[in-house]
Amino acid sequence: MINIFLSLCETCQKKKKLGKKGLVSKTILHTGFNSRCQIDLIDIQSQPDAQFRFILNYQNHLTKFVLLRPLQTKRAEEVASHVLDIFLTFGAPVLLHSDNGREFVNNVITDLTALWPELKIVHGKPRHSQSQGSIERANQDVEQILASWMTDSKSTNWSIGLKFVQFIKNKAHHAEINMTPYKAMFGVNPRVGLVTSNLPNELITTINFEDELENLISTVTTSENMIGQKAAVSDTIDAIRKKANANLEKQVTRMITRSENKFPAVEVGVNVVIRIPDVDKGKTDHPNIIGIVLEKTEYDLYRIGCKDRILEKFYCRCVHYQLFIY
pLDDT in tens, 123-171: 876 554 444 456 677 888 899 999 999 999 999 999 999 999 999 999 9
Is residue 282 in some structural domain? Answer: yes
Q: What pLDDT, on the 0 to 100 scale, is given for residue 145?
A: 94
Q: What pLDDT, on the 0 to 100 scale, is given for residue 129?
A: 43
Is residue 171 in some structural domain? Answer: yes
Confidence of residue 324 (pLDDT cuts 50, 70, 90): very low
Please answer whether residues 184 and 247 qualify as being in contact, where contact means their C-beta atoms are separated by less than 8 angstroms: no
Is residue 31 in some structural domain? Answer: no
Clarify whether residues 51 and 127 are in a common domain.
Answer: yes
pTM of the predicted model as reported, rounded to 2 decimal places? 0.64
Clarify whether residues 154 and 59 are in a common domain.
Answer: yes
Task: Tell me which of 314 and 22 has the higher pLDDT.
Answer: 314
**Residue range 180-229, pLDDT digits in tens:** 999 988 888 888 887 777 777 777 777 888 777 777 777 665 444 544 44
Please say which residue of 186, 212, 237 terminates a domain: 186
Whole-number Å distance between alpha carbons of 222 and 198: 9
Clarify whether residues 155 and 50 are in a common domain.
Answer: yes
Range of the domain at 182: 36-186
Please answer whether residues 227 and 197 qualify as being in contact, where contact means their C-beta atoms are separated by less than 8 angstroms: yes
